[in-house]
Structure 1
Amino acid sequence: MNFIKTIIIFLLPAIFVGMTACSGSDDPVTPEIVPAKTEIAFSRTGGSETLSVKSNVPLEVKSNDESWCRVVPASSTSDAVYKFTVTLDANPETSDRSTTITIKGGNITQTVNVVQTAADGLIVTPTLFDEVAGEGAQIEVKLTTNGAVKITTNDSWITQVTSRAAMTEQTVTFNVAANYRDPRTGSISFTLGELTETVTVKQVKANLSDIGMESDALILAAKMYAGWNIGNTLEAIGGETAWGNPKLAEAYIRKIKDFGFNAIRIPCAWNQYIEDAETYKIEDSWLDRVNEVVGYCVANDMYAIVNIHWDGGWLENNCTPDKQEENNRKQHALWTQIAGKLNHYDEHLLFAGTNEPNVDNAQKMVVLKSYLQTFIDAVRATGGNNAVRNLIVQGPNTDIDMTDKLFGDMPTDVVDNRLMLEVHYYNPWTFCGLEKDESWGKMAYFWGAHAVSGSDRNATSGDEAEMKSLFARMKTKFVDKGIPVILGEYGAITMRTGLGDLQEAHNKSRNLYDETVTREAKNHGMVPFYWETGGVVNRNTGAIKDNYAMDGIVKGAREGKYPF
């Protein structure tokens, strides 16, 4: 019934027009066919559109491609206008397509173009990258598409290098970051409309021996036989020679190696060499100088530690919440530059984030942890060898007892087993460093087996048993958990003179102390670095000035054995 009604409606305009023509005149009707539009556009999904045609004669309307474009009459409320429903199927092709609707009436023919956009087309090759080099690489994906493709790297270690507008064919490049952990699998997604293609990236672990960075913290610590500080030099406020030492020469480094040391700690100042207070830009000449000194060490097959030392106290005297944000910005800026400048060195170079941070409670410890985390993150972000370089973090005040009580867990790192902890040891200070009697204690001249009977200058604390007990706490808390400990400073550094018959007892006390600390540090998994500012070895000639200290250190290093 509905079909018959539609046909009747479809014919009415023509009948009406014919009757009108006959009633007024015997002249034949002049056909008129006027489509409302000459082109109809469809999306890739297809659908239906109405085509209106003004005409005074009956019409024959047909699609030239009826398999996917169909035309049927539709209802019209106008006597002079025909309406047709044009329906298109979804376009399965990846290119645009078109056809023509032909409208005939009397001896007149009109056409209407029908165009349809292409279906989403997306082809990516290859879809698998297998065994990508662990040291990192660039990969290229060939992309054939007819639309704007959304590209998603589903893993942070895969990053897109170029991004172009959609083209018929293009190549998209990605960086695959170095992988220093276990083999891993990632993916890249290419999305166009409802289409998604995925590329799988499988990466092997980097062969770190190829870049000279194969040793993790435990292995590297065991390679360091005995350590030596170059104190009062590159950390001197006012310049390298401001505290009385000459400019460091490579000949001095070679001398230290000849004495049996294979590791150097290089305390460094940086704050006084900042040339831009806004960006914390370090003077290039100073970065070059530190690089030169590190080069002396590495060229002689010695390990080197570079730190940010006291440096005017901007960090270590301000482990407080009010300075936390500002100091973290500065810490990040400085370490980004230091690490970037020295990135080319292999595992012979280590970085230490601070020196002796002034921390004595839990709140300050939280702030210190943020400074250490910033240090680690900044170094790792520079990539290259720094991505796996062994790094050293400091305990509160670098004090063993405080570190045992306050430090807690190590900071986080993106690479496994590449962190060490640092503490210092000058216990008892009355014997090791005190230079005049104070209200809280008197200078001690004698220690251990060389104490003088009846003397009020014997050390009253910090004996060998206490030393071993403290070192054992570091072994339990860190070394036994795979975290080596750097004993970054130690020594009986104050030499007394003018003691007459008791001078030998004092000299032997210092000798025994230095031997004992060195030996017991190694026996407890700690790497000892003797603090030296020019009193033991002549900085100009390389000659030994204090045989008691030198002999004690060398003997202790020879007798001590790392317990791993």
Structure 2
Amino acid sequence: MRRIISALVAVAVILGSLAGVRPIQVRAEEVTASSVHAAIKTGWNLGNSLDAHHKKSMKVGEPNLDHETIWGQPKVTKAQIDYVASLGFNAIRVPVTWYNHTYRDATGTLHIRQEWLARVREVIDYCLADNLYVFMDTHHDKELIYAGVSEEELAQVKSDAASLWREIASYFADADHKLIFESYNEVDNHVKYWQYGEKAARQMNELNQVFVDTVRSTGGKNADRVLMVPTLLDHNSGESLNKFVLPKDSVKDRILVTVHCYSQQYDQAVEGIFSGLESFSKRIGAKVIIGEWGSTTKYAPAQYRGIHAANYVARAAAHGIKCFYWDNGSNYAIVDRTALTCNQDMINAIMNPVAYTSNGSEIVFDGSDYLYKTLDQTTGAIKEDKSWGTILLTTDGSGNIPVAEGSSNFYVQLVRSGSMATQAIHYIYMFDAGGKLLSKVNDWGGFTEKTVEIPAGCAYIRIGVNSAQTATSKAAYEAAFASGEIVGYLKFR
């Protein structure tokens, strides 16, 4: 029967053509945001390749194709993409930096060099040939795309965003529907570096709308192609989610939303992030993808790296969230793109995810659990810090945190937002019962989470928090603890 129907359709097409009538177009099954989200098992990022760039290496008047390998990764080949697909990934994110391959004409209009478009298309075609879902973005283009500025400056940003996506979308208008365009990557707040701002969040929504409108205007398969848009800074919590508005679209169910999340929590403690994203997804009526996550190669203890990865993917999936592993070929690497080998334990963890639940109580530091003092960076002794403002997380106001009996390591995290967005953990000092300093972590840049091994004989620890960018008063800390803008967590294990 199928052969008879096919023959009749063929005859109808021929007769219609002979009669000058346009043949009926039989459309393949529609590719929607929901169908793409459901089909994705897990994704992988081709990081530090097409997004690599260096201002000093730019050659005026040339296409700068040598940028692709400037961050230490080999030139992307079909064999590399084939290998990634063979590991079980059925989706790939291809970060692309465009700014370094653009120029302006006499009118000031932005254009992309054709040589770069052709190279990007070559790599995208490698991915599509392996039947992968492909997410292509604008990455490290902060010279062009940013928020939190005056309306006059925003008008130029919008114009450049439209020019950029008009040329990208037009060039890829005939590409398979498995190619998904991602508007922007980690759009920053120009006024408050890497911090939330209400104006920036509103302008982020406007930029996402410019993206959708521009892509749709180019026609072809872009008329109903699935698109993906981020929150401000790709933040995964707080006001960046609350103020996000899904762009209006001319076609139904074609928009995904992305955030980034590099939490190194390895157990049930990560649930709060994913449950919040699940609620966010339901509120906006769109599926959520974590476009970047990863388990650092220096995960400590080392044996927990695979546990973290498996737990992360499993718990995200339980909340309806799909994840794309950030592989930059260095501190998050799981695939060697030169040797075409992999960290098989990590691949197994990602492909066969299992949630991990740890035992032991978690200490939550609230407004009553800190001391407004700092540490002597040589000895770890507690001292006054009235000029800058440091707090020591503590359970009894002494500045000391007793080590739980039988523990070999501990995980510490600082959750911050709003006025506390630049706060970080800078000091972790560990002492024996007699007060002798055994080991320390002293990080000028600071961090928001870390797993630390406990040296033999350690009886107590001291953890110092401050901002490397601004002085903080005691009153500011008190207000932030009261509002929930800063919370500390500690778990011995």
Aligned partners of 2:149, 2:289: CA distance in 1, in Å?
A: 22
How far 1:468 moved relative to its partner? 1.6
- Residue of 315, 331, 334 corresponding to 1:536: 334
SS at match of 1:515: helix
CA drift of 1:322 comes to 4.9
Displacement of 1:512 in angstroms is 1.1
- 8 A contact 1:479–1:485 mirrored in 2: no
Which of the numbers 13, 34, 40 marks the counterpart of 1:224?
Answer: 40
Residues 408/243 of structure 1: CA separation in 2 closer, same or farther (3 Å cut):
closer
Gaps spanning 5+ residues in structure 2: where? Answer: 1-23, 55-66, 190-195, 357-493
Cα distance between partner residues in 1 of 2:73 and 2:126: 17
Distance in 1 (CA, whole Å) between partners of 2:249 and 2:128 is: 25
**1:106-125 equivalent positions in 2, closer than 5 A:** none
Look up the match of 2:182.
352
Give the unaligned 5+ runs of structure 1: 1-205, 429-461, 497-504, 560-564
Structure 2 counterpart of 1:510, from 287, 305, 308 = 305
Q: How do 1:279-294 and structure 2 match up within 5 A?
A: 279-294=109-124
Match of 1:261 among 79, 89, 96: 89
Name the aligned partner's letter for residue 533 of structure 1: N
- Amino acid corresponding to residue 348 of structure 2 in structure 1: D
The alignment status of 1:366 with 2:169, answered yes or no, reads: no
Deviations 1:384-415 (A, max 9, x none): 11011111110122111136643343111111
Asked which structure has the greater RCO (Cα within 8 Å, sep 6+), the reply is 2
In structure 2, how many angstroms separate the alpha carbons of the residues matched to 1:362 and 1:249? 43
Give 1 or 2 for the bigger CA radius of gyration.
Answer: 1
Residues 336, 254 of structure 1: CA spacing in aligned structure 2 closer, same or farther, 3 A cutoff? same
CA contact (8 A) 1:273 1:282 kept: yes
RMSD of aligned alpha carbons: 2.5
Q: Distance in 2 between matches of 1:221 and 1:410?
A: 17
> Structure 1 length normalisation: TM-score?
0.52
State the percentage of identical aligned residues: 29
CA distance in 1, matches of 2:92, 2:42: 9
What is the aligned partner in structure 2 of residue 331 from structure 1?
161
Among 318, 336, 351, the residue aligned to 1:523: 318
- The Cα shift of 1:300 comes to 0.8
1:265 is matched by which residue type in structure 2? Answer: R
In structure 2, the residue matched to 1:271 is 99
| More deviation, 382-391/534-543 | 534-543
**Aligned residue for 1:165?**
none
Secondary structure at the counterpart of residue 338 of structure 1: helix
Q: Give secondary structure in 2 for the equivalent of 1:470.
A: helix
The CA distance in 2 between the partners of 1:526 and 1:403, in whole Å, is: 20
C-alpha change, 1:509 and 1:322, in structure 2 (3 Å) is farther
Q: 1:558 to 1:463 in 2, by over 3 A?
A: closer
Secondary structure of the 2:69 match is coil
| Aligned residue in 1 for 2:141 | 311
The number of residue pairs the alignment matches comes to: 311
Q: Within 2, Cα distance between the matches of 1:473 and 1:463?
A: 17
Name the aligned partner's letter for residue 326 of structure 2.
W
Aligned partners of 1:492, 1:297: CA distance in 2, in Å? 24
Against the structure 1 CA distance between its residues 510 and 403, is the aligned structure 2 distance closer, same or farther, given a 3 Å change threshold? farther
Q: What SS does the corresponding residue of 2:126 show, helix, strand or coil?
A: helix
Does structure 2 conserve the Cα–Cα contact (< 8 Å) formed by 1:213 and 1:389?
Answer: no
| Cross-structure match for 1:384 | 220
- Confirm or deny that 1:551 pairs with 2:381: no
What CA distance in whole angstroms lies between the structure 2 residues aligned with 1:362 and 1:530?
30
TM-score where L is the length of structure 2: 0.59
Is contact 1:298–1:349 with CA below 8 Å preserved after alignment? yes
In the alignment, is the contact (CA less than 8 A) between 2:137 and 2:182 conserved in 1?
Answer: yes
SS at 1:389 equivalent? coil
Distance 1:229 1:280 in 2: 27
Deviation at 1:538? 1.2
Equivalent in the alignment of 1:477: 280
Secondary structure class of the residue paired with 2:290: strand
Match of 1:251 in 2: 79
Whole-angstrom distance in 2 between the partners of 1:312 and 1:397: 11
- 2:35 maps to a residue whose letter is I
Residue 50 of structure 2 aligns to a residue in which SS? Answer: coil
Which residue number in structure 2 is paired with residue 145 of structure 1? none
Task: Assess, with a 3 A threshold, how the Cα gap between structure 1 residues 495 and 550 changes in structure 2: closer, same or farther.
Answer: farther
- The Cα shift of 1:270 comes to 0.6
Question: Contact 1:404–1:474 at 8 Å: present in 2 too?
Answer: no
Could you give the per-residue CA deviations for residues 317-336 of structure 1, whole angstroms, max 9, x where no partner exists? Answer: 66664531111000000101
SS of 2:135 mapped into structure 1: strand
In 1, Cα distance between the equivalents of 2:284 and 2:139?
27
Q: Secondary structure at the match of 2:73?
A: coil
Give the match for residue 491 of structure 1: 294
Deviations 1:404-455 (A, max 9, x none): 6433431111111111100011125xxxxxxxxxxxxxxxxxxxxxxxxxxx
For residues 312 and 361 of structure 1, do their structure 2 counterparts lie closer, same or farther at Cα, with a shift above 3 Å needed? closer
Q: CA deviation at 1:295?
A: 0.4
Alpha-carbon distance between aligned partners in 2 of 1:314 and 1:224, rounded to the nearest angstrom: 31
